[in-house]
């Protein structure tokens, strides 16, 4: 049998996992901010649906979270 070297290097480092978890947490916060806004009575229209938080902040947090997760995956291990 030949001498084969076993490579025990992992694909991700501790910092990569931290970035991925931070990105996922940011996306979850964005999705939670989108929840709600409907009216309790189905015959009434609620303008709370179009709040700045639901229209701008939450999608921005989701996009930032996706970017951080992508960065965490693509970052080179030292």
Tens-level pLDDT at each residue, the chain (78 residues): 567 777 767 788 999 999 999 999 999 999 999 998 777 888 888 888 889 999 999 999 999 999 999 999 999 887
Q: What is the rounded distance in angstroms from the CA atom of residue 47 to the CA atom of residue 15? A: 42
Token pair belonging to 29: 């916060």
Paired tokens of 12? 């991700």
């Amino acid at each position: 049998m030949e001498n084969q070297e076993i490579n025990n290097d992992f694909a991700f480092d501790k910092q990569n996992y931290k970035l991925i978890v931070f990105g996922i947490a940011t996306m979850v916060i964005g999705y939670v901010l989108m929840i709600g806004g409907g009216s309790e009575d189905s015959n009434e229209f609620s303008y709370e649906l179009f709040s700045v938080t639901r229209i701008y902040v939450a999608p921005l947090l989701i996009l930032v979270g996706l970017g951080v997760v992508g960065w965490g995956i693509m970052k080179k291990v030292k």
